[in-house]
Structure 1
Amino acid sequence: MLKQYLQFKLSQKLSPQQIQLMKLIQLPTQAFEQRIKQELEENPALDTGKDDTDEDQFDEFDNSEDDYNDNEEINTEDINIDEYLSDDDVPDYRTQVSNYSSDDEEKVMPYAAGTSFTQHLNSQLNTFRLNDEERDIAEFLVGSVDESGYIRRTLSDIMDDLAFTQNIFTTEDKIETVLHKVHQLDPAGVGARNLQECLSIQLHRKEKYPDVELACHIIDKAFDQFTKKHYKKLLQKFDITEIQLKDAIEEIERLNPKPGGSYAGNNRMVEHVVPDFAIKIVDGELDLTLNGRNAPELHVSREYSNMMKGYKEAKDKSKSQKDAVLFIKQKLDAAKWFIEAIRQRQQTLFVTMSSIMHYQKEYFLSGDERKLKPMILKDIADEIDMDVSTVSRVANSKYVDTPYGTKLIKEFFSESMTNDQGEEVSTREIKKILETVIEEENKKKPLTDEKLAQILKEKGYPIARRTVAKYREQLDISVARLRKKI
């Protein structure tokens, strides 16, 4: 049986504008600049401080009929034209906010031209006598070398690819023979299939001093014991002294585990970190500035404002004019909202970072990580009266330039624990002390996690062994056995 009834329910929904604002807040400086370029391309009513040709603006206007067909039901008589007319080309926030850094000019990253890593390797193949089939195989192998200098594929996979993509039918033995010639290319170790082969190639290219010969034997015949630092087994296996083993290990440590990274002309795209904020110490006080690239000079296009003005002054308004004004209204609304969103983004970034700076004032004045206070997202969110998710968006992807280097903002957040005196201390402080203890340990007898926990307890930080292990892994420090040295 069907029934009808009324139900009242409160629900909170984000508008499309709020969602886009959250996305803008999350973007770091470089991604934010790309987003602005995209908006400028999509919305002809949005303009920068630079002069654009009228032809470009009208081209985009003429091709955008589909954007406003859905708005035909809007009554153009209800549109207040005066709201869209303004003589001010500069948005208010450009004159009200003064927290820009000195790099408020446009910066273009230059790109260096040069020979790629693959081209560098291919050019060396000309020094070998190779028949047509061998050259094709060699060029395919060179093309399979990754940016670290390795070929991380099996010979059977390479053989299949040669057959399917190059129409070259060959054998694994033939590929192995050509691969040994690729191993003769510079830098030494390039084309290796694993770390052991990479180190072995480099050692066999060296002059055969006793230390080098012993290092070759260790890598070729006892690589597993070497990686696990079973030094006693190595001493017994090769019947050598500790001094000889130490000299051989020093030879191995001089080798390059990533030969591809040593090529100076390697034109890989490098990600440059652009600080979103800068903190300086001026007369003993902290001074925070927002990167000027986060405050672009945007304004509503004068050309589109003039179109609105022309429509207002026209006595006889045709249907095409009414359709045009609906499109112009849509684009002008979007442009005004985008400019307002940028202002809100700036304000949110600055307020959030300012709160973090003052919360961690002792650290920013001294640079001592042990003075970092326990701080979670909620602490800052409560202080600035914003949502935790907003603070998270600012912290996760933004960098700040400090007197002690460029730091990711989320690194300043940490959980707290209670020491033996009942004080709340940051886990970052404990990690720093743990790192210092491990640096000062006797490397011949590294401290186990159990002993590290005992030392921290003596220093006033009663934490369990498993917690020590977790912090050690977060610091990317190996277990005691792998930290051992002769």
Structure 2
Amino acid sequence: MAQGSHQIQSQQQIQTLSPQQILVVKLLELPAVELEDRIRAEILENPALEEGQEEGAAEDSLDKNDLDEDSLISSSEDYSLGDYLTEDDIPDYKLQESSRSREGRAEDIPFSEVTSFYEILKEQLGELNLTDQQQELAEYLIGSLDDDGLLRKSLYNISDELAIYAGVEASESALEEVLKIIQDFDPAGIGARSLQECLLIQIKRKDDSPIRQTEFNIIDRCYDDFTRKHWDKIMQRLNLSEEKFNEALQEITKLNPRPGSSLGETIGRNLQQIVPDFIVDTYDDGTITLNLNNRNVPELRMNRGFSEMLEEHTKNKANQSKDSKNAMLFLKQKMDAAQGFIEAVKQRQNTLVTTMQAIIDLQHSFFLEGDESLLRPMILKDVADRTGLDISTISRVSNSKYVQTNYGIFSLKYFFGEGFTTEDGEEMSSREIRRILKDHIDNENKKKPLTDDELTEILNKEGFPIARRTVAKYRQQLNIPVARLRK
């Protein structure tokens, strides 16, 4: 007797984003230069959108109340001409800086930076013949790499991010496959998910030889002992003579634990100008002003000709042919898309200003004085709590954005850092602790360098209750080798 099949019904709560929300998210990630390109591409693609400002229209200021997600355009087929033909609903606004006196200032920026490894990786990506999905996943993975070139997010989390924020379904196995492609890029070690994997990738790239195999065995089979410098255990386990072990160890120390950083250094001659997304001015009376740097971003408005054509079609709605109805539907779709794009740009502008203002408020002392030691501990959640925005939104705003101040140009990531409280109850940033740690190492006895344990003890006595692993992490962030290699 055949068994009947059973159907099980269950409820699942799945977070999905509307096309309008996805557009806002994508625009939010773009720095000023890329936003200009994106807007010009949209103008070319959508005839209902055009560049320019209506004659006699006053310059609009950004109004946070206009940007509520609930007010975004509906794509319903029921519509009236009032949706497009009133002055309020044809948003033509000025995306330029609010002050005319600032015009031209951003041209003269005394700062340049080496081409980032993100751009170099994307160039290498462009040389491959990938499917559209592989291309999209690869670009997302490259954007998820840390500054040192390593991937510290799990593929499981990245899969969730893609589904929630980009509307892209990608399994961990699909991401793994694309990640392997990225790990073949130069320099060796890019895209590794741990320091161990980073070193193994570099060793595999070497020409085959006995010493290469020894290096591989040390990192692959004895990595924990290697990190703890238990040399005797490694030699015993792998049956190595001291001479062969030292030879392999010498080669391992030549490997690069931060391949992303090294890539930027090796192409230092290829300079590019940094265009700041924000301009912050500090005046003698303590006033701090914030402006968006959108001087090259085109102004946008709805195409009045499209509005007039839609009005004409609507007047004859009762006697329309099939072709006329299709034409009216086309006009409406294009005008919906144009108005939605304008609203998305407005929302991007307002979110950027809101986030940057929160950063200024939280790091007020730094923006007044320009002293790095005045930077307070600040994480994404601090800014999210202050603005009421989601942490993922703050992360997107902070990524690849720069601010011009009286003291130079800084990446927004510069203002974020961990912190802790000293024994005296003073709140200090990890940046300040790294500075103190570097001072101790700079002043150590070079014949007998301080070990991480000794540095931990010194810092603890000075009132900084941090663990040895934290000292080791900060030392690595400063690109300072272990004590044995500093002799």
- Give the TM-score category using the shorter length: 0.5 to 0.7
Q: Which runs of 5+ in 2 are unaligned?
A: 55-75, 110-185, 188-204, 209-246, 255-263
- Counterpart position of 2:140: none
Q: CA deviation at 1:387?
A: 1.0
1:84 maps to 84
Higher mean displacement: 25-34 or 333-342: 25-34
Contact 2:91 2:339 in 1 (8 A): no
Match of 1:309?
Answer: 311
**Secondary structure in 1 matching 2:291:** strand
Q: Aligned pair in 2 of structure 1 residues 90, 308: CA closer, same or farther (>3 Å)?
A: closer
For 1:42-81, list aligned pairs within 5 A: 42-49=45-52, 78-81=78-81
The residue aligned with 1:175 is none
CA distance in 1: counterparts of 2:479 and 2:206, whole angstroms: 30
Matches within 5 A, 1:38-437: 38-49=41-52, 78-86=78-86, 91=91, 93-94=93-94, 98=98, 102-103=102-103, 270-282=271-283, 283-293=285-295, 296-314=298-316, 316-437=319-440
Q: 1:436 to 1:405 in 2, by over 3 A?
A: farther
Over 3 Å counting, the alpha-carbon distance change for 1:88 and 1:303 in structure 2 is farther
Shift of 1:14: 1.9
Q: Distance in 1 between matches of 2:425 and 2:390?
A: 30
Q: In the aligned structure 2, how far is the partner of 1:106 from the partner of 1:308? A: 41
User: What is the distance in 2 between the residues matched to 1:95 and 1:314?
Assistant: 37
Q: Secondary structure at the match of 2:290?
A: strand
Deviation at 1:434, TM superposition (A): 1.5
Instruction: Please tell me the root mean square deviation across aligned C-alpha atoms, in Å.
Output: 4.4
Change over 3 Å in CA distance of 1:445–1:405 after alignment to 2: farther
1:272 counterpart letter in structure 2: Q
In the TM superposition, residue 352 of structure 1 has moved relative to its aligned partner by: 0.7
The alpha-carbon deviation at position 334 of structure 1 amounts to 0.5
Q: Offset at 1:39? A: 1.5
| Percent pairwise identity | 49
Question: Aligned partners of 2:105, 2:341: CA distance in 1, in Å?
Answer: 21
Give 1:335 shift.
Answer: 0.3
Query: What is the distance in 2 between the residues matched to 1:405 and 1:94?
Result: 27
CA-to-aligned-CA distance 1:431-462 (integer Å, 9 cap, x gap):
12222333344545543323322332232212
Deviation at 1:324, TM superposition (A): 0.8
Residue 303 of structure 1 and its aligned partner are, at CA, apart by 2.1
When normalised by structure 1's length, the TM-score is 0.56
Deviation of 1:225 (Å): 7.9
Contact 1:278 1:402 survives alignment (8 Å): yes
Equivalenced residues, count: 323
SS in 1 for 2:288: strand
The question of whether the paired residues in 2 share the 8 Å contact of 1:49 and 1:298 is answered with yes
The 1:13–1:97 alpha-carbon spacing in structure 2 relative to 1, beyond 3 Å, is farther
* CA gap 1:381/1:44 in 2 versus in 1, 3 angstroms: same
CA distance 1:311–1:97, change in 2 (3 Å): farther
Q: Distance in 1 between matches of 2:443 and 2:388?
A: 44
Tell me the distance in 1 between the aligned counterparts of 2:37 and 2:314: 35
SS of the residue aligned with 2:377?
A: coil
Query: 1:6: Cα distance to partner?
Result: 9.1
Shift of 1:421: 1.3
Residue of structure 2 in register with 1:461 after alignment: 464
Gaps of 5+ in 1: 52-73, 110-145, 148-152, 157-221, 230-257
SS in 1 for 2:466: coil
In structure 1, give the amino acid aligned to 2:430.
T
